[in-house]
A and B are shown apart, each in its own frame.
Chain A
Amino acid sequence: MSGVLVVMEARGGAWNRMSFETLAAGQQLAAGLGVAARAAVVGSGVAGLARELAGYKLEKVYAVSHALLGEYTADGFAAAVEALVRRDGADVVLFPHTYQVRDFAPKVATRFGRVLVSDATGFRAEGGLVFVRQLFQGKLNADVRVSGDGPQFASIQAGAFRAESAEAGQAAVEEFAPELAAGTIRQKPEAPFRESARAVDLTAAEIIVSVGRGIKEKENIGVVEELAKALGAEMAASRPICDNGWLPMERQVGSSGQTVAPKVYVAVGISGAIQHLVGMKGSKTIVAINKDANAPIFEVADYGIVGDLFEVVPALVAEVRKVRG
């Protein structure tokens, strides 16, 4: 059966929100190709989620369920999704680009002799199928043309499509119990955990001043801390700053850190990789200070200053102090 199949993600009975962005993408791609869209939810006891999914404009919804899919494993999910794709026969299979999808979807694509076009931001049906994706952490874009028989696989970048644009409708639910054997699942997962209680709750801050690798050395962090102090802001950072132990982990903003949406977010010496952007894109006003005029952070900034942070930030501190007295 031709069509676009969207593989949704849920954990512990709750959707990963990115799934609905991908659902919207799948509906749009199907419309562009003139084929039907279908969607699937994979796990154990997913009937309720499948029913919810049946309220969208889809040809069919699969409830892919098995006791061995209750806990995520790469081997279990790869086998289940492979079986689903073979049964469904879609031309294109879309996933949200989540950490879980990174873990198993390339394996599925490989079993079909295909490449997963990962982290795609868009597509065009143009004499075949072309996906748009970023290179060099968002500094350049690329068109990737896929070819060959069999399903094409892609995962969709966070925020590239709007979940709200997924069209409502009505679909029938089909139950699918893939054949899985416990002995073929080699990963033994333990319960997820958090490292430590978060002492700082960045989500409550009105203003956040966030520092990235442009700061060069631990000794320089103070330059940016001065600005946070002058503005009465909380300090945050990109991942490499926390990896290096220059600021504590709990101040990390991004896909593996906190998601914040303050009134003002000041990004200092941060390039704007997607994993950082997903954690702060929702801020009301974004200010970026970066010496590279082409840094992707300017793509989301409301106000931008291209310049050396070691000159701009102290000047800002002086100006803020002037008006604050």
Chain B
Amino acid sequence: MKIIVAIKQVPVRDSQLKPEAGGRWIEEGDLSFEINEPDAYALEEALQLKEKHGGEVIALCLGPARASQTIREALAKGADRALHVEEEDTAGLDTLGVAALLAEAAKRESPDLILTGLQSDDLGYGQTGVVMAELLGLPHATIIMQVEAGEGKLRVKRELEDGWFQHVEMPLPAVLTIQSGINKLRYATLMGIKKAKTKEIKKLAAADLGGKRASAAVLEKVYAPQRTKQTQMIEGDAKTAAAKLVEKLRFEVRAI
């Protein structure tokens, strides 16, 4: 099975985020970056499918030069090679623009299966995989919690709301968007890290892939949300704050 996994590099969780001066994106100067969480699960799922069925795992990333670090990490975990669509101005692309470039890069590999994360931690559109599927004319399923690959077809477990699930079957090739928690993530081994240095990262530019589409949905302004709720913030050191909160829970809420 030839599997492509779309991985995105995003700011590490719990980063302190500030809108940049122009207000079109965030200040990135002081941030560190990591693999988008569900993409790590998508990569793990691809590696497990390869272990079962053989084949190849190719990491696919669109992002600036700094994304090569995240790509290396994917290679260290076991991806065989990578495609890096190098693009500095990612904020200037909308989802369709990103998906079109990723789809074009993927198409040239004629994969059996494309995995993406369910949703990016930064933009959170939750749709790049679905759009890629449509552009490539492939069937898809989203929010996947289990993958069984058979001869020319797939049976997957989709998550529905409120703790419900559903199995869905579809022919290969196909696109799946993977939910966090589908499997247990592996760590890169020392051996893996060493091997990664010799693996191929093929660089592509938007121009090689049919060029950039004009954006039809533009991030015009990024800003801190306004608080609408009147939260009573309880001040003081831990002991003082705890005592005040218990008092409130006793006399205002009458829960203790």
**Residues of A that sit less than 8 Å from B by CB:** 74-75, 78, 98-99, 102-107, 109-111, 113-119, 130, 133-148, 186-195, 198, 206-207, 231, 239-240, 242-244, 249, 252, 255-259, 263-264, 284-285, 287-288, 292, 294, 296, 298-308, 311-312, 314-316, 318-320, 322-324
Contacts and interface: CB of A to CB of B under 8 A. Distances in A.
A20 to B, nearest CB: 16
Contacts of B181: 239-240, 242-244
B245 interface: yes
Interface string B206-233: 0000000000111111111101110111
Nearest to B123: A135
A244 B37 CA distance: 13
Given A243-B181, A316-B242, 14 more contacts: A75-B139, A99-B160, A103-B141, A113-B216, A118-B126, A143-B219, A146-B217, A190-B168, A207-B255, A255-B161, A299-B229, A307-B241, A319-B245, A324-B256
Contact of A140 (B142, B159, B164, B223): B223
Contacts of A307: 238, 241
A307 B244 CA distance: 14
A324 B161 CA distance: 39
B220 A139 contact: no
Contact of A136 (B122, B131, B161, B168): B122
Contacts of B125: 116, 118-119
A140 B225 contact: yes
Q: Which 9 interchain pairs have the tightest Cβ spacing? A: A243-B181, A106-B127, A315-B242, A186-B139, A311-B238, A106-B130, A115-B217, A190-B167, A319-B246
A188 B168 contact: yes
Contacts of A231: 255-256
Interface of B: 11, 14, 16-17, 19, 26, 94-96, 99, 121-127, 130-131, 133-135, 139-143, 158-171, 180-181, 216-225, 227-229, 231-234, 238-239, 241-243, 245-246, 248-250, 253, 255-256
A105 B130 CA distance: 9
B124 A134 contact: yes
Contacts of B130: 74, 102-104, 106-107, 110
A111 B130 CA distance: 12
